[in-house]
């Protein structure tokens, strides 16, 4: 795949997304690190800045929505390509 083809695919994906994906999946209060797996007790103690979410943020629910979003995107993209 050429660089031009990669850019074309990226542009098509960006144009199809409804909003910024982070905001779309997580809302305004979630941070960038919400996409990391949930930390165990030791992780929360050693790295709270990336392990703890603001009140009202459900990391597992965001991960579930991200997986559904990705599955829908690829299913649609593959159907369109076929």
46-60 pLDDT per residue, tens = 999 999 988 888 889
Q: What single DSSP character describes residue 1?
A: -
Pair 25, 69: CB distance under 8 Å = yes
34-47 pLDDT per residue, tens = 888 989 999 999 99
pTM of the model: 0.60
Number of domains in the chain: 1
Question: Is the pLDDT assigned to residue 70 strictly greater than 80?
Answer: yes
Question: Is the pLDDT assigned to residue 28 strictly greater than 70?
Answer: no
Pair 32, 1: CB distance under 8 Å = no
Query: What whole-number distance in Å separates Cα of residue 41 and Cα of residue 75?
Result: 37
Residue 49's domain comprises 3-81
Three-class SS of 10-49: HHHHHHHCCCCHHHHHHCCCCCHHHHCCCCCHHHHHHCHH
Q: Residue 12 has what pLDDT?
A: 65
């Amino acid at each position: 795949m050429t660089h031009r083809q990669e850019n074309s695919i990226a542009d098509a994906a960006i144009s199809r997304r409804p909003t910024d994906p982070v905001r779309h999946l997580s809302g305004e209060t979630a941070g960038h690190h919400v996409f990391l797996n949930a930390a165990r007790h030791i992780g929360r103690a050693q790295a709270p800045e990336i392990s703890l979410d603001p009140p009202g943020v459900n990391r597992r629910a965001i991960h579930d929505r991200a997986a559904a979003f990705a599955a829908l995107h690829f299913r649609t993209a593959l159907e369109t390509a076929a």
